[in-house]
Amino acid sequence: MNKDRVNGMIDEVAGSAKRKAGELTDNPKLQVKGIVQQAKSKVENALGHAKEAVRDATDGAGVHCDARVNLELKNATTGAQRSGSK
């Protein structure tokens, strides 16, 4: 479980509590804040699931990135070649 999913769970619980408190106290503003926080939790949870899926897919695929660059430089006057890295 990653940070986004944990935050989503926290927002779900807090939003639900706010929504219920708004219902009990007949406070529509608090109800709306709770509903919005619950919606935010769903987005965070979905983002967390997506990140985990990408991580799992790349871990299992053995993806490797090689950033080395080889340059072949030719000296125009002598015709000699040199190898070097940048």
Would you place residue 17 in the very low, low, confident or very high pLDDT band (cuts 50, 70, 90)? very high
Would you place residue 59 in the very low, low, confident or very high pLDDT band (cuts 50, 70, 90)? confident
Question: Helix-strand-coil percent breakdown of the chain, rounded to 5?
Answer: 65, 10, 25
What is the SS3 assignment for 65? Answer: coil
Number of domains in the chain: 1
pTM higher than 0.75 for the full model? Answer: no
Relative to beta strand 81-85, strand 70-74 is antiparallel
Answer whether residue 85 is part of any domain. Answer: no
User: In the beta sheet, which residues pair with residue 82?
Assistant: 73
Domain that holds residue 17: 3-74
